[in-house]
C-alpha cells in the first residue's frame, strides 16, 4: 500500500519531490537548547519548502497549558462534596454559572467563567508513571523504546509552518522533555524563550540586542555582514548555498530588528489593568505572554506551570499553587474573549493523570490514571459543557469515558489537521499522527 500524505525535500528547493514509501529525509539533529536564533530559523526555513496539505481550522492558535506532576481532579475540576471525608478531601466547592455544576473551591475564579469552558471529567488513562503519562499527553501514544513520536506543537509546526515572521511553536519558559519533535527533526521544535517572563531581568534568548548594541550599531553590523557575504558570493563555488544561508540569518535579523516581533515577547507593553487580570503569581506573566505570542502570529505556545505531585500535604500544596492557576487561567480566557480571539484560539489544560480516590496516610493522594479531567476553552469547542462524569468516589469513569488519543484527535481536527495522516519516520515507516483516535463530535460547537 503506498504511503499517503508524505512529502520530502533535499538541500536544493529545485529538487522538491513527492516520494514513494522508501524515501526518507535525513537531517542533522541539533540540540534544541543549543540553537541560536539564526540556527533555528535556518532549520525552520527548510521546513518551509514543503507541500502543506493541512489547512487552518477554527483553532488557528493553540495555548497548551501543562501542569506537571498530576493535578488531583478531586481538588480541581471534579470535586465530590457528597462523598465520605476520606474521598472528599479537605476542601469545599465553588458554585459555577452552570446549573448543578461545581468546581473545587480552589477554582473560584474559573467557576465564574464555566460558561466559557469545556471540562471533560471522564478521561480514562493507562499510565501511572510521570514520564510515560507525560509522553502520552503530549503525543497521543504510549511510550515505546522503538521510536519517539512528535508532540502536538511539533506536528502543528510541521503541518502549518510559520506565520507573520514568527516561530510557529514557542515554549514558555523552556522546552519540556516530551514537547519535542520526535522523528520529525529539530526544525519543527519549539523556540524556548530561555527566561521566565515573571522574573526580574527577563530577556528572551537571542532576540534582544546585546548590552551596548543599540539599533544604529546593530544596523551597521548588519550592513557589514552584507558586504562580507556579497564578497564571498562572488568567489564561492556554491554561491546559491551561501545565499540561502544568508537568507536564514536575514530572517533572524528581521525578528531582532522588527518592533512587532520584539514587542510580542515584552509583557511590559501591557497595561497594569490587563496584567492585574492574570494576577501576580508565576502563572500570570507566562499566560499573558502566551496570549501576546498567539496574537502576534505564533501558532502554538506551550506553557508549563507548577508541580502537582502531591503525595503528602495536599491541602497546603493546593492552597499555595492553585490560586495562581485559577486567577491566571480565568484571566486568560476572559482576555481572549474580550479581544474577540477566543473562538479562534484553543486553550488546552492538561496534567499527567489524576490522584487516588482516597486521601492517604500522609494527607496526600497518589498517582491514579483510571479517571481524571481535562479542560478546554475556545477553538470551536462547546462552551459551558461538562462532558462525561466519574462515579461518586472519583475512582472510575461513569458516563462517556474518553481516551487521551480521542481528545488529541479532536484537538487536531479543530486545528485543521487530520490525525489519520501518516508522517514518515526513520526506516521509511509511515506513522499516523494519532493511531486509532476518534473525533468526539459532542465536544465541538
The set of residues, in sequence order, having a beta carbon less than 8 Å from that of 268 and lying 6+ positions away, is none
Banded pLDDT at 197 (limits 50, 70, 90): confident
Exposed/middle/buried for residue 439 (C-beta within 10 Å: 0-12, 13-18, 19+): middle
CA distances from 191 to 36, 65, 170 (A): 10, 16, 5
The set of residues, in sequence order, having a beta carbon less than 8 Å from that of 13 and lying 6+ positions away, is 49
**Where in 141-183 does DSSP place strands (E)?**
169-172
SS3 260: helix
Q: Does the structure show a pLDDT above 50 at 111?
A: yes
pLDDT digits (tens, 9 = 90+) for 422-433: 999 988 899 999
Banded pLDDT at 308 (limits 50, 70, 90): very high
Q: Does the structure show a pLDDT above 90 at 293?
A: yes
Query: How many other CB atoms are found less than 10 A from the CB of residue 316?
Result: 12
Task: Give Rg (Cα) of the chain.
Answer: 23
What is the arithmetic mean of pLDDT over 134-161?
96
What is the arithmetic mean of pLDDT over 416-439?
94
What is the arithmetic mean of pLDDT over 147-158?
97
Q: 375, 68 in Cβ contact below 8 A?
A: no
**pLDDT recorded at residue 262:** 76
Q: How long a stretch of residues is the chain?
A: 445
- What is the average pLDDT value for the chain, to the nearest integer? 84
Which of 189-198, 284-293, 403-412 has the weakest average pLDDT?
A: 189-198
pLDDT digits (tens, 9 = 90+) for 12-46: 333 333 433 333 333 333 334 445 666 666 655 55
**Portion of the chain with pLDDT greater than 70, in percent:** 76
**pLDDT recorded at residue 83:** 98
**423: DSSP letter:** E
Banded pLDDT at 205 (limits 50, 70, 90): low
**pLDDT recorded at residue 358:** 98
How many whole angstroms from its chain centre is CA 97?
28
Q: 353, 310 in Cβ contact below 8 A?
A: no
CA distance 356 to 370: 9
Banded pLDDT at 250 (limits 50, 70, 90): low
Banded pLDDT at 187 (limits 50, 70, 90): confident
CA dihedral 137, 350, 285, 32 (to 10 degrees): 0
Dihedral sign of CA atoms 174, 351, 104, 61 in order: positive
Q: Which residues pair with 372 in a beta bridge?
A: 123
pLDDT digits (tens, 9 = 90+) for 309-333: 999 999 999 999 999 999 999 999 9
Q: Does the structure show a pLDDT above 90 at 355?
A: yes
**pLDDT recorded at residue 202:** 74
- Orientation of helix 37-48 relative to helix 152-160, angle to 10°: 60
pLDDT digits (tens, 9 = 90+) for 371-406: 999 999 999 999 999 999 999 999 999 999 999 999
Dihedral sign of CA atoms 379, 380, 385, 391 in order: negative
Q: Does the structure show a pLDDT above 50 at 350?
A: yes
Q: Which residue has the higher pLDDT, 11 or 102?
A: 102
- Which helix (H) or strand (E) is 368 found in, with range? strand 367-368
Q: 409, 416 in Cβ contact below 8 A?
A: no
What is the arithmetic mean of pLDDT over 52-56?
78
Amino acid at each position: 500500500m503506498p504511503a499517503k500524505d508524505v512529502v520530502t525535500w533535499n538541500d536544493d528547493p529545485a529538487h522538491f519531490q513527492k516520494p514513494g514509501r522508501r524515501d526518507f529525509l535525513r537531517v542533522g539533529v541539533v540540540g534544541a537548547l543549543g540553537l541560536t536564533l539564526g540556527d533555528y530559523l535556518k532549520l525552520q526555513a527548510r521546513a518551509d519548502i514543503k507541500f502543506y496539505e493541512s489547512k487552518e481550522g477554527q483553532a488557528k492558535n493553540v495555548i497548551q497549558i501543562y501542569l506537571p506532576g498530576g493535578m488531583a481532579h478531586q481538588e480541581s475540576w471534579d470535586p465530590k462534596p457528597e462523598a465520605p471525608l476520606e474521598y472528599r478531601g479537605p476542601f469545599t466547592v465553588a458554585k459555577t454559572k452552570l446549573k448543578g455544576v461545581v468546581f473545587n473551591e480552589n477554582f473560584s475564579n474559573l467557576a465564574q467563567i464555566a460558561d466559557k469552558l469545556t471540562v471533560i471529567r471522564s478521561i480514562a488513562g493507562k499510565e501511572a508513571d510521570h514520564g510515560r503519562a507525560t509522553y502520552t499527553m503530549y503525543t497521543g501514544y504510549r511510550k515505546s523504546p522503538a521510536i519517539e513520536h512528535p508532540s502536538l506543537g511539533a506536528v502543528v509546526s510541521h503541518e502549518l509552518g510559520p506565520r507573520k515572521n514568527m516561530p510557529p511553536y514557542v515554549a514558555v519558559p523552556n522546552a519540556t522533555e516530551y514537547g519535542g519533535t520526535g522523528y520529525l527533526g529539530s526544525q519543527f521544535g519549539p523556540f524556548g524563550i530561555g527566561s521566565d517572563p515573571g522574573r526580574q531581568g527577563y530577556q528572551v534568548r537571542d532576540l534582544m540586542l546585546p548590552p551596548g548594541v543599540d539599533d544604529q550599531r546593530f544596523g551597521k553590523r548588519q550592513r557589514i555582514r552584507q558586504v562580507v557575504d556579497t564578497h564571498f558570493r562572488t568567489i564561492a563555488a556554491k554561491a546559491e548555498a551561501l545565499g540561502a544561508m544568508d537568507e536564514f540569518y536575514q530572517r533572524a535579523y528581521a525578528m531582532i530588528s522588527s518592533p512587532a516581533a520584539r514587542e510580542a515577547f515584552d509583557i511590559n507593553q501591557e497595561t497594569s489593568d490587563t496584567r492585574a487580570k492574570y494576577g501576580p503569581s508565576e502563572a500570570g506573566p507566562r499566560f499573558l505572554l502566551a496570549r501576546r505570542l498567539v496574537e502576534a502570529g505564533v501558532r502554538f505556545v506551550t506553557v508549563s506551570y507548577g508541580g502537582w505531585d502531591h503525595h503528602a500535604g495536599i491541602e497546603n500544596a493546593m492552597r499555595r499553587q492553585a490560586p495562581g492557576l485559577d486567577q491566571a487561567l480565568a484571566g486568560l480566557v476572559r482576555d481572549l474573549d474580550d479581544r474577540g480571539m477566543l473562538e479562534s484560539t484553543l486553550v488546552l489544560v492538561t496534567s499527567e493523570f489524576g490522584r487516588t480516590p482516597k486521601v492517604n496516610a500522609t494527607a496526600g493522594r497518589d498517582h491514579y490514571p483510571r479517571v481524571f479531567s481535562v479542560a478546554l476553552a475556545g477553538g470551536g469547542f462547546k462552551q459551558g459543557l461538562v462532558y462525561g462524569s466519574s462515579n461518586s468516589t472519583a475512582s472510575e469513569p461513569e458516563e462517556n469515558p474518553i481516551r487521551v488519543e480521542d481528545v488529541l484527535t479532536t484537538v487536531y481536527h479543530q486545528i485543521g489537521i487530520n490525525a489519520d495522516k501518516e508522517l514518515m519516520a526513520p526506516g521509511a515507516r509511515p506513522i499516523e499522527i494519532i493511531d486509532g483516535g476518534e473525533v468526539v463530535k459532542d465536544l465541538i460547537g
